[in-house]
Structure 1
Amino acid sequence: MSAPAVLSARDLRCGYGATPVCGPVTTSVAPGEVLGIVGFNGAGKSTVVRTMIGRQPPLDGECRFRDLLVDDRAASFRAAVSCVFDEDAFFPSLTAAEHLELVARGHGVPEPVQAVRRELDAFGITAVADALPTELSSGQRRRLLLAAGFIRPAELLVLDEPEQRLDPVMRELMGDRIRARAAGGCAVVVVTHAPDLLLATASTCLVIADEVRRVPVAEGAALISGTRA
């Protein structure tokens, strides 16, 4: 018997005003599964994911976290879901290390100081641990956001184009981290334009287009690389 879905969408229409950005979405992601979401620029990938986790209202249909309708204001939902989108969200008066420690302590991470050190090292930003967000490069801020997403426990991890501004070595590390979280029972959703990251991590693939469909991971990788599977 398959595990019950952590996150699911049924006949979900996503968009702005009354205009959908893509076809209706019916999908799910279970514990230990990595759902890769791909599509051409402007297809609506981020809009779909934001709608699935309650950051914007659906035009129609429904999303559920476990057996309940998604409510991103519920404390239980926020405690269980870790998200990294392409936007800076820092406390301007906190250093990189202080920011991570605040996240870790807020989510009950054991030995938070040691956890912060591990994440700073893993993402190659130990040298800027005492720097304020305004003193970081765009690539360093991206790594800090990712570190904040990974340092905390979660039943669902949502990553919107985590490969952005990462070098090949760090991108490979990202793939390792995603696989490790899934192996530990976390459900993962990854929006990506990187065929290598998709192939390295995804167990299933959703193509966002006028007709949303599930495809084999290799077919999704071929789509975003512009080749044939």
Structure 2
Amino acid sequence: MSRRFGEREALKPLDLHVAPGERVALVGANGSGKSTLLRLACGRDRPTTGSVHFDGLPMTEDDPRVRSRVAVVAEALSCYPDLTVRQHLELVAVAHAVPDPGAVVERCLDEQRLAAHADALPGSLSSGQAQAMLLAAAWVRPRDLLVLDEPEQRLDPAARDRLAARLRAEGDRGTAVLFATHHPALAHAVADRVLVLEDGRVVADGAGDRVPA
């Protein structure tokens, strides 16, 4: 697959397969093609050439069979200004028919250190807490593929450690994980495989333990 915007080739032709339980990190400078690749991988954009499939299905957000199994952490969560943090997470859980949604939401609030802010409005959260809420919205729903664009942004070191532990656990439970990061230490701690992108091209593809921390 490849992606072109006018005359600019944002992503040069590549083949990528992420297996169930595999954790793949994308690293590279701003503008290297990481976010473009992630948007193609989760169906939020379509390639100029080639195709993207998930479990044999064309990857598109329009297909509920795909949408129900793919969780994306990419930009700020769309929020209702008069709903609390807890209520937003409950909406996500109910929309995805999560069994015992209340208990799942409470676990995610605790994990993300948001329990004390569960009844706050999203607009009152700090930037780090808002990022934690975005992550919680992904953890609260079912997922077989997890796509994250710089999920560590705005997180403090302790929260980044919790994120690394969660991403490792996601792979261990069979979730395919594809994430972009500017923190080599996160890629080193999590990824089985690391792709290095430069000017829209994969210039290195190897085991995660070869990434400098």
Say yes or no: TM over 0.5: yes
Shift of 1:200: 1.2
| Contact 1:18 1:59 (C-alpha < 8 Å) held by counterparts | no
The equivalent residue for 1:37 is 26
Q: Is 2:197 the partner of 1:208?
A: yes
| Contact 2:72 2:138 (C-alpha < 8 Å) held by counterparts | yes
Separation (CA, whole Å) in 2 of partners of 1:185 and 1:218: 20
Separation (CA, whole Å) in 1 of partners of 2:70 and 2:7: 28
The equivalent residue for 2:180 is 191
Q: Which amino acid aligns with 1:214?
A: D
The equivalent residue for 1:27 is 16
Q: Deviations over 1:127-180 (max 9, x none)?
A: 111111111121111110000011111110111111111111111111111111
The equivalent residue for 2:161 is 172
Residue of 113, 120, 127 corresponding to 1:131: 120
Separation (CA, whole Å) in 2 of partners of 1:102 and 1:91: 11
Superposed CA RMSD in Å reads 1.5
Shift of 1:111: 1.4
| Contact 1:37 1:190 (C-alpha < 8 Å) held by counterparts | yes
| Contact 2:128 2:156 (C-alpha < 8 Å) held by counterparts | no
Q: TM-score, normalised by structure 2?
A: 0.93
Q: Deviations over 1:93-113 (max 9, x none)?
A: 211000001111111222111
The equivalent residue for 1:122 is 111
Q: Is 2:35 the partner of 1:46?
A: yes
SS of residue matched to 2:97? coil
| Contact 1:80 1:156 (C-alpha < 8 Å) held by counterparts | yes
Shift of 1:18: 4.2
The equivalent residue for 2:82 is 93
Q: TM-score, normalised by structure 1?
A: 0.87
Separation (CA, whole Å) in 2 of partners of 1:193 and 1:127: 30
Q: Deviations over 1:28-64 (max 9, x none)?
A: 1011100111111111201111022221121211111
The equivalent residue for 1:102 is 91
Q: Which amino acid aligns with 2:207?
A: P
The residue correspondences of 1:72-83 to structure 2 (distance < 5 A) are 72-83=61-72
Separation (CA, whole Å) in 1 of partners of 2:163 and 2:135: 9
| Contact 1:20 1:59 (C-alpha < 8 Å) held by counterparts | no
Q: Which amino acid aligns with 1:168?
A: P
SS of residue matched to 2:51? strand
Separation (CA, whole Å) in 1 of partners of 2:86 and 2:173: 25
The equivalent residue for 1:13 is 2
| Contact 2:57 2:66 (C-alpha < 8 Å) held by counterparts | no
Shift of 1:19: 2.0
| Contact 1:21 1:44 (C-alpha < 8 Å) held by counterparts | yes
Structure 2, unpaired ranges of 5+: none
Separation (CA, whole Å) in 2 of partners of 1:18 and 1:111: 50
Aligned residues: 211
How many percent identity over aligned positions?
A: 42
Point out 4+ residue stretches in structure 1 off by more than 4 angstroms: none
